[in-house]
Amino acid sequence: MADVKYTQEHEWIRVEGGVGTIGITQYAQEQLGDVVFVELPQVGRKVAKGEACAVVESVKAASDIYAPVSGEVTEANTGLTDAPGDVNAEPTGKGWFFKLKLADKSELDGLMDEAAYGAFVKSLA
Amino acid sequence: MVQSLDRSQGRLGGVTAGATATPATFTGNRGLQLEEPLIFEMGQPGRCGVDLPEPPKAKDRLNGLRRAGEIGLPGLSEPQVVQHYTRLSQKNYAIDMGVYPLGSCTMKHNPRLNEKVARLAGIGDLHPLQPVSTVQGALELIDRLAHWLKTLTGMPAVAMSPAAGAHGEMCGMMAIAAALAAKGERAKRKIVLAPESAHGTNPATAAALGFTVKPIPANDRGRVDLSALKAALGPDVAAIMLTNPNTCGLFENEIIEISKAVHEAGAYFYCDGANFNAIVGRVRPGDLGVDCMHINLHKTFSTPHGGGGPGAGPVVLSAALAPYAPYPWVVKDGDTWRIAEEGASVGSAAPLGRLKAFHGQMGMFTRALAYIMSHGADGLKQAAEDAVLSANYVMASLKDVMSPAFHGPCMHEALFDDSFLKDTGVSTLDFAKAMIDEGYHPMTMYFPLVVHGALLIEPTESQAKEDLDLFIGALRSLADRAKSGKDVEAFKAAPQFAPRRRLDETLAARKPVLRWRPSNNPPEGDPLKQAAE
Amino acid sequence: MRYLPLTDADRRDMLAVIGARSVDELFEDVPASARLLGKVAGLPDHQGELEVERTFQTFAAKNVSPATAPFFIGAGAYRHHVPATVDHMIQRGEFLTSYTPYQPEITQGTLQYLFEFQTQVTLLTGMEVANASMYDGSTATSEAVLMANRITRRHKAVISGGLHPHYRRVIETAARWEGFSTAACQGDADGLEDLIARVDKESSCVVVQNPSFFGHVRDFTRLAAACHAVGALLIVVVTEVVALGLIKPPGEMGADIVVCEGQSIGNGLGFGGPYVGLFATREKYMRQMPGRLVGETVDAGGKRGFVLTLSTREQHIRREKATSNICTNAGLCALAFTVHLTLLGEAGFRRLAELNHAKASELADRVSSVPGIELVNDSFFNEFTVRLPGPAAPVVEALADRRILAGVPVSRLIPDDPAMENLLLLAATETATEHGVAPLVAGLKEVL
């Protein structure tokens, strides 16, 4: 059963068998507005937890995406090059950004679960 | 090259969903609002707008690299060229048309005397590399302006070559880097402190020079938090970058304590001079302890904004930074002028290098000096006072219907946040677009970033009180209408009377079309989609 | 005071609304030690137009205008004839006094002419995409090097000895303070330098100029291939943009970035500024470009319109991570450029270039027939190098005393180099006439 965790920077990570799929949340895409471009990390790159490794651009803003956990990039969602709007349409589905092979599963413990993230977002209002 | 010409960029039957009912026209034109194609859609091979003589037969010395094939430039006659650019010009708002309240931009009147003197034969047509003996008057002109800038700011030196404000920032921060390098502290001092309200060019410049930018928080009066600043200062800090008055339109009342603390910590004080118009002639930045300050000649000193340039950003320098000023500079030797360009001519100075080819934005020097001499010391002081008076008048006249971001008087610009629009369904963007229909260019929006939905109004000293009153009246009406909650759709659909309605910026960024091509089809786009906020 | 509309009565009324007794109250935040007693000392008071004009006419009278003397100076700025229409268009208040098109609905004039400008720049350079201008050719070149560093993630720029010395210094200044290195070649007066040998896997880019500072016209196709083979970018600089009317453009030689000084078209000499930098590249590098970009789109009514786009690269959004700190660029100079180029069109621009080459070709023959003067170039466009029997700087001074503006001694831009001392740069544009050439030739004969 896939386990979804969340960061305070509004990234989600869904882990299946040691590989995490990462994207931004519904709240984040709403805040950004129409996404026009996504800059993805190269496959093979090793990233540390909290390291900026991708950029999502809307018309008026550019936000860094930080790796929720450490690992090695195994896949990047190149479909976003032609369809950046997927991030707005399905931020947790086809709008995913990249996949990581986790270096240390225990890093997931420090992240929020769905309920905690929901409360966090409410507190921002 | 496309031959025929469909001038109508509108659809026949003109009115589309979401618009108010304005009558359709066959041409897509609306009275004096004329649709205009691209030059590439107007050209014909047999046309030319100049008459040049037949080139004489001459030996070809192009190394066999003669250009083959068409360049693809369209051919237009002179009347067509004049009509094209005249029609284009009529789609632009400009200072010449009325209030242009862009905060931080100082959209003051651009005097036409400036234009006249800049075009004088013997000034406008000189080559920068003519023998110095043949340009003595030009060098004297530059020196005269330099003297005014130094005296007005109370600073001993000025670097004249930067081409714009951001270029001046680069110059000032490079001078600081050079001073640190001379002391062997370049590697030790890597941090630059800047408020979160700073203009984006400040951190961009610092980062380019290898500094790490750390934010300094503001206090609840909107000024730099002095104790937080003192806590942040240390042996690893190179400089602080401050704007004064700051980007919220407020004078940093603790600026002398700030500069003392910065200097005691062994760091330098860069001042962004974009808001100099508030204090010119009344306060000298040199008396406030700054080490360098760039001056936007196209803001404070009226050189025209020209649709986004050209500007000029001379930088006044303290005695500590003067030795590092970039070359070239003008030197007086007895009765004659020369230019210190590089090599032996720079003498014992340790210039940071060269920022630009040739000498500087001479055309802007001429214009700025004409403005400065027209105003004089008394007029400049009056201009600053009128600018501050006008902004406070706007603030006082709107504070009951709009929401000032800070209490108390402002300097030359009035800052509001969007709390007066709370729960109305109307955003800062919608409010600004509605101003367009009322005949005004909107104020600066969403800057500074520290205020939510910021609206920053800088009227300048160039508006008659009657015109300010009309402007204020329009804003009051719009604020009332927004708060009534009744006409949200009208705000969302604005502007409706401008040459274009809201443009799809998402489409422009997702599918960038940055040039005309023969094969360009009209870009796809949902006419009902509004630009993202 | 003619620029200040407020009257004393207005000021009183406004103070009453504000609730302040005097304007001094509004300056209360100024520290006491910085408050001046009255206006700034040591400066004159306001003046009327007549007095100000007189001052400027006095400045002007002390200069020798190129219109009044035989004139052959180039070296990166060129005297061309600008049609009268150009100034009339840029003087229209809607262009002169408008600003950056932040509100596109009411600045379609500016946005459309910049879109046309961008297109013209791609056509001239043979490249795919161009920005809406930079300050000038020298700063555009420096920005191109920074862009190449970003793209290749390398930190060493190789600089041709044919690059304008001021441009070289601007790059070196950026390198010194922004943390990258440069490898610059000696002044390439003979036009024979071999850059292919100088490019390696550590190079981010090679920067060449065509025609070179000394006037040579070269084909850089092989150099482009050599750069690409090691993952470096080729940056080609053009300081005389009229040359692109007659010479194979850098885009057709494989350049990755092309930067030009646009001053020759639409913008007079102006004693060095303001000028206009042109910047063009390949589409794949579009998002790495500095400066403003205008893009096409539609409005809510379905009509074609133009907007600033890809702004997230720029300082006001990206801040520390911006591609450049540039904000204001060269708007009105870009307008002058595009109006002039539109008047010229395909036929006019090509003919202008032919005229320039013909005039320079003739001048080269006349000058090199003077005993002692040797023409260095086999190839050139409208500017070439001659070698004099002795130092060139005093010759130019002597001719200036005779009111002849006889080119630029190379030693002015490359001082302290004996190999450059006897070299003189001479340019001839469509403005050169027999009335200028004859005195130059006679003057050279006399002085040498």
Do the interacting molecules here have an ipTM over 0.90? yes
DSSP B237: E
- Count of pairs with CB atoms under 8 A, one residue in A, one in B: 24
- Scan residues 1-30 of A and list those with Cβ closer than 8 Å to C: none
CA dist., res. B320 & res. C166, Å (int): 27
Chain B neighbors of A85, CB-CB under 8 A: 510
Q: How far is C36 from chain B (nearest CA, A)?
A: 6
On the CB side of B350, CA atoms within 13 Å amount to: 14
Give pLDDT, residue B18. 44
Residue C191 structure tokens: 């036009």
Task: Write out chain C residues lying below 8 Å of B508, CB-based.
Answer: 295-297, 307, 309
In the numeric block, which tokens belong to residue C347? 């036929």
Region for A12 from its dihedrals, namely left if φ exceeds 0, alpha if ψ lies in -120 to 50, beta otherwise? beta
Half-sphere exposure of A112 (CA within 13 A, CB side): 16
Residues of C in contact with B19 (CB under 8 A): 300-301
In this structure, the number of other CB atoms found within 10 A of the CB of residue B66 comes to 13
Tokens for C329?
Answer: 């660029």
Q: In chain C, what is the straight-line distance between the N-terminal and C-terminal CA atoms, in Å?
A: 57
Tens-place pLDDT, residues C11-48: 999 999 999 999 999 999 999 999 998 899 999 999 99
Determine the residue of chain A that is closest to C307 in CA distance.
A59
The rounded distance, in Å, linking the Cα atoms of B306 and C97 is 5
DSSP single-letter state for residue B432: H
Q: Label the pairing between strands C203-209 and C156-159.
A: parallel
- Residue B180 tokens, joined: 């640190």
Return the pLDDT at B524.
Answer: 47
Asked whether residue C323 carries a pLDDT value surpassing 70, the answer given is no
Residues of chain B under the 50 pLDDT cut: 1-20, 523-533
Contact (CB<8Å) A37/B510? yes
| B302 token code pair | 């009226």
Mean pLDDT of chain C: 95
User: Looking at beta carbons, which residues of chain C come within 8 Å of B346?
Assistant: none
- What is the rounded CA–CA span in Å between residue C199 and residue B131? 38
Which of B 331-350 lie inside 8 A of A, CB atoms?
A: none
- All structural domains of chain C, each given as residue ranges with its CATH number in brackets, are 66-82+345-447 (3.90.1150.10), 84-340 (3.40.640.10)
CA distance B361 to C273: 4
Phi, psi of B179, rounded to the nearest 5 degrees: -65, -40
B-C C-beta contacts closer than 8 Å:
743
Summarize the confidence of residues C258-265 as an average pLDDT: 98
Domain tally for chain A? 1
- Structural domains of chain B ordered from first start: 117-371 (3.40.640.10), 382-503 (3.90.1150.10)
- Element at B1 (helix H, strand E): none
Task: Give the pLDDT score at C188.
Answer: 96
CATH number assigned to the domain comprising residue A103 = 2.40.50.100
Locate the chain A residue with the closest alpha carbon to B507: A36
**Chain-chain contact of C318 with A62 (C-beta, under 8 angstroms):** yes
Residues 6+ apart with CB under 8 A from A25: A6, A10, A11, A12, A91, A92, A117, A121
CA distances (Å), B406 to each of B253, B399, C123, in order?
Answer: 15, 10, 51
Q: Which residue in B27, B313, B300, B284 sits closest to B168, CA to CA? A: B313
Closest chain B residue by Cα to residue A81: B510
Residue B441: CB partners within 8 Å, gap ≥ 6?
Answer: B93, B99, B100, B101, B102, B435, C103, C106
pLDDT at site B293: 98
- Chain Cα centroid distance, residue C378: 26
Q: Which of A59, A84, A85 sits opposite B505 (nearest CB)?
A: A59
Cα separation, B306 vs C98, in Å, equals 6
Range of the domain at A36: 3-124
Angstrom distance (rounded) from CA B158 to CA B290? 13
Sign of CA dihedral C351, C352, C357, C363: positive
Interface membership of A43 toward C (CB under 8 Å): no
Q: Assess B509–A contact: CB distance below 8 Å, yes or no.
A: yes
- Dihedral angle of Cα B150, B155, B161, B162, to the nearest 10 degrees: -120
| Residue C313 pLDDT > 80 | no
Cα–Cα distance measured from residue A108 to residue C347, given in angstroms and rounded to the nearest whole number: 68
pLDDT tens string C144-193: 999 999 999 999 999 999 999 999 999 999 999 999 999 999 999 999 99
CA distance C316 to A84: 22
Q: Does C316 touch chain A (CB under 8 A)?
A: no
Indicate whether C286 pLDDT > 60.
yes
Nearest chain B CA: its distance from C258 CA (Å): 16
Listed as own residue / partner, the contacts of B406-411 with beta carbons closer than 8 Å and 24 or more positions apart are B406/B221, B406/B222, B406/B248, B406/B250, B407/B221, B408/B221, B409/C18, B409/C20, B409/C25, B409/C26, B409/C28, B410/B248, B410/B249, B410/B250, B411/B245, B411/B249, B411/B250, B411/B251, B411/B275, B411/B278, B411/B279, B411/C26
- Token readout for C409 is 């001694």
Distance CA C299, CA B6 (A): 18
**Residue C321 in contact with partner chain A when CB distance is under 8 A:** yes
- Whether A37 sits inside 8 A of C311 (CB atoms) is no
Cβ separation of A62 and C287 shorter than 8 Å? no
Q: Which residue has the higher pLDDT, A46 or C312?
A: A46
User: Given this model, what pLDDT does residue C321 score?
Assistant: 67
How does residue C65 score in pLDDT terms, banded at 50, 70 and 90?
very high
pLDDT by residue, tens only, chain A of 125 residues: 467 999 999 999 999 989 999 999 999 999 888 999 999 999 999 999 999 899 998 887 788 899 999 999 999 999 998 999 999 999 999 999 999 999 999 999 999 999 999 999 999 86
**Which residues from chain B sit within 8 angstroms of residue C361, using beta carbons?**
58-61
Chain-centroid distance, C-alpha B144: 24
Query: Which amino acid is located at A16 in the chain?
Result: E
Q: Check: CB of residue B75 under 8 Å from CB of residue B43.
A: yes
Cβ separation of B304 and C137 shorter than 8 Å? no
Q: Is A36 on the interface with B (CB under 8 A)?
A: yes
**Contact B385/C at CB under 8 A:** yes
pLDDT in tens, C116-139: 999 999 999 999 999 999 999 999
